[in-house]
Homo-oligomer: A and B are copies of this chain.
């Protein structure tokens, strides 16, 4: 995580940008959050800390983090963009519980290979893909069951 600071600062300097306390805080909050955070969540978590960057700065800083390969933004179906850690991460897909919003990452070699086959078949040169599987996790099914029975 200390290295992420370095990577971020290097990126800022090389593009003529400045290192600021807000940017440092947002990076720290982003790295400290597990998994998939929205700009709103970063904003709320940052508020707890010493300083309070505005929404504008959160959005602008997340864009910088995406630029330097630390974060990756993905639009989820609730209309919010979620940001996830992406530094030297292997590609993965998402399994999402529609009950509690839990997001599980997975990687499946077979699915990846089969996708390549499909795209070749259609003469398309793949750049990237997103696979999201929606369903109910064990916990949420248990809660549903109790609610129905009770």
Residues on A facing B (Cβ under 8 Å): 75, 77, 79, 95, 97-98, 104, 106, 108, 110-111, 114-115, 118-119, 122-138, 141
This chain's copy number in the assembly: 2
CB-based contact B108/A133 at 8 Å: no
Q: Which 8 residue pairs spanning A and B have beta carbons closest together?
A: A126-B135, A129-B133, A124-B135, A131-B131, A123-B138, A125-B136, A125-B135, A110-B114
CB-based contact A122/B95 at 8 Å: yes
Q: Which residues of B contact A128 (CB under 8 A)?
A: 134
CA distance A145 to B106 in the complex (A): 36
Choice from B114, B124, B130 contacting A111 with Cβ under 8 Å: B114
Q: How far is the CB of A73 from chain B (nearest CB, A)?
A: 10
CB-based contact A127/B106 at 8 Å: no
